A and B are shown apart, each in its own frame.
Chain A
Amino acid sequence: MASKYIALPKGVSEKTFTAALAEFRRVVGQDSVLVTAEQLAPYIKTMMPVPDADHTPSAALLAQSVEQVQKIVAICNKYKVPIWTISTGRNFGYGSAAPAERGQVVLDLKRMNRILEVDPELCFALVEPGVTYKQLYDYIQEHRYPLWLSCPAPSAIAGPTGNTLDRGVGYTPYGEHFLFACGMEVVLANGDVLRTGMGSLPKSNTWQVFKWGYGPYLDGIFTQSNYGIVTKFGFWLMPAPPAFKPFVIQYEQEDDIVEIVETIRPLRISGVIPNAVVIAHALYEAPTKARRSDYVTGPGAITDEAVRRIMQDHKLGAWNVYAALYGTQEQIDVNWKIVTEAFGKSGKAKILSEQEAAADPAFQYRAALMRGDMTLKEFALYNWRGGGGSMWFAPVSQARGSETLKQMAMTKRILAKYGLDYSGEFIVGMRDMHHIVDVLYDRTDPAMTKAAYQCFDELLTEFSAEGYGTYRVNTAFMDKVAHTYGPVQRRVHKTLKNALDPNGILAPGKSGIR
């Protein structure tokens, strides 16, 4: 007999689920327990090449307070109902808001959206998980605080809690977001409320200014994990610099990437360039200016010849290096001289200042991200091929030029084998480099969807075989990536899971942990 629910949690009967829902309603109210198809359909959007049915939730709960979250986990333990927590749920290309496994109940914290504190002198914020970057941006503007945010590309609609907990990044000097996290409040599976770091100390006012507290540092185990539900999140904000100078440097040849990275690394490590430098391939930038179908139709990856035409038509380099200088004008002048001399040595670089690149739409949104402004322009990537398929492939390497050519060759070869384009960028961090590739495909095309799955699987297999770990991945491939990090780490993760969540009610499957 068909269930009256669109899905059920694994191993939970309809009768048991109905009883659990009744208790959820007593806690959060009738209107905050969503079970109809129309209510749940917005939570199902995925961009992965697997059936949406694999990630269909059984219900969604809209909690408004820590106390409600505590009561919800008690009910989940009683009925063995698993929950998948989201804050703003914008994990585009990494799984969106949909749960890792069919039937999990989405715990949506969007209504817990209070900005609890912004300190303009010590430059920190304490927020609830539903707070978006746009909300915080408006708050800072309204209060005229001289503070900047660091946002990921979906800036306005994403939030600092969810992005940082998934170890997302931004584009300002504070772009390694977890590095600037300071203090969490976490509801554990047994209902206890843990405040990490200095937050555990009664009367302490140092929760958001000193990260470590006393004893083992715990914040890390609540990122990319399922060991607790973060209900408050502290982080540091960047003081607005007196001056800001974004720039772009273009290179004409793909193999110039070696020189680019070798030039950038010392500038990053020494702090001359303080933000993560983006080295975007022409095809990563093209969607802000053109559509794929303007240049090619039919099956197969885009040709190098077509890429050259795109570069010429839209004034793009094969590689487009985006970075910025921050500080006083005097500091910027000194550092600009260092930067231009370093990049100017070989004669290959075309250096464009903010004034020279001001009309370029790709530069405009990159510059906005580097000053923590709100922009959604990077979503133009999804118009490149169209059809709604996207998976971010994100292997990590050392920041060395030799790594780039090797990774790019591997990626292009595997993508081309499956008829997919290389839309990639390298982001040079402190000493590491993230190679970010948006595997774009058309979900309305069954053959391409199947190819995209196989392609992504092969990318993960081949890169891990070469020692390149993936730092973040969509929910369909979390188990595979967890496996690449070896059995000992998985056992430790599982040991922690069993200790903190013995009934396995919190987001089973997140990062491959059950």
Chain B
Amino acid sequence: MEIDRRSLLKGLLASGALLALRGPSWTFAEPASRRAGLCLLLSGDRDADRAFAAGVRGACVELGTSEPHIVELSGGLLANADQVIESLDRLRGRRWVAAMDDGSAAVFQELARTAGGRLLSVGSHVSVGDETSPVRHTWLTASAAQGIGGLLATQLAGAQMSFAITERFLGPPQSMNEVTSWRAPGFFSYRSVEPSVMHLHCSGLSSSAACRLLGVAGAEDWAPIPPHRCTRDTAGGQGDQWVEALGRAVAASALGVARVEESCVSRAFVHRTGQAPRMQPDTRVVSFIVDL
């Protein structure tokens, strides 16, 4: 039953019919003349990689951009490193979105560095195949301007999925006149300044429980962020599978969709649904956005 529903949704997504049913569309941060054009998707050939690719294509359809050029690595990067090296050399001046397994990702990041790539974000995404753990996402992102966590959190919360997302910004936090923060229905937001500024957005559990889940110390130091300072990332579509939703969010970020920028060094989004947890298959994906 569940599989049939997913297949139906994927079919609708591919045909674009689902778009008419969706909520508010994404908007771009930049005018058309200054937007990055997504041109290349590098993907493995696992089911998870294909679900990610479906999400990328869905985002492109919704945003009215052309579909990316797709490089699918049959057998993964470990069997096709020469192909990737050649592509990195040949396809310069473009933005790459990539999804692959952990072993391939270890190599890909090294190859991208050698090729002079600029890494906008790298994320590790895991569902561990039991009913007690939420799907986990950890991102290292160059700057808040490339933050993806809010885009994904909005989608996953809308799809009633439990998740834990952490995102660390490498660049210095932007200075803002007042604290700004992401929000979504049912989420409460908090700010901590020690040891560095972090924002925590949680729903369905307390801030202290969220901190325990994230392994963050000092739960007592969190100060609530008043709701009037909060802004919501527009949702875009709601992926039924988390990997597909991930692909949508990563592509949206790569394409320059406007998102909430927060004046912090790191942030986390934790959501626990009131429903019985859904068993997620053991799935692991590493995502990249790289400019070459």
B-contacting residues of A (Cβ < 8 Å)? 2-6, 36-45, 47, 52-53, 56, 88-90, 92, 96-97, 110, 154, 156-157, 287, 291, 293, 297-298, 376-377, 379-383, 386-388, 442-447, 449-450
Contact = CB atoms under 8 A, between A and B. Distances in A.
B113 A382 contact: no
B172 A388 contact: no
Given A37-B142, A157-B107, A445 B119 contact: no
A41 B119 contact: yes
Interface residues on B, range: 35 or more
Nearest to B172: A2
Contacts of B138: 443-444
B106 A297 contact: no
B126 A386 contact: yes
Contacts of A52: 140, 168
B218 interface: no
Interface centre among B120, B168, B282 (most CB of A within 10 A): B282
Contacts of A379: 78, 103-104, 106-107
Which 8 interchain pairs have the tightest Cβ spacing? A446-B215, A42-B113, A293-B282, A386-B284, A38-B118, A41-B119, A37-B171, A379-B103
A19 B122 CA distance: 31
B78 A97 contact: no
B168 A444 contact: no
Contacts of B114: 88, 110, 157
B128 interface: yes
Contact of A41 (B122, B130, B173): B122
B215 A387 contact: no
A17 to B, nearest CB: 14
A157 B78 CA distance: 11
Nearest to B164: A444
Given A2-B173, A89-B110, A387-B126, A381 B137 contact: no
Interface string B106-132: 110111111001111010111011100
Contacts of B101: 382-383, 386
B215 A450 contact: yes
B136 interface: yes
A390 B93 CA distance: 33
Contacts of B129: 293, 297
Contact of A388 (B106, B117, B214, B282): B106
Contacts of B140: 41, 44, 52
B103 A382 contact: yes
Contacts of A297: 128-130, 282
A157 B110 contact: yes
A171 to B, nearest CB: 18
B227 to A, nearest CB: 26
Contacts of A41: 118-120, 122, 140, 142, 170
Contact of B106 (A53, A382, A450): A382
Contacts of A291: 282
Interface in B145-180: 168-173, 175
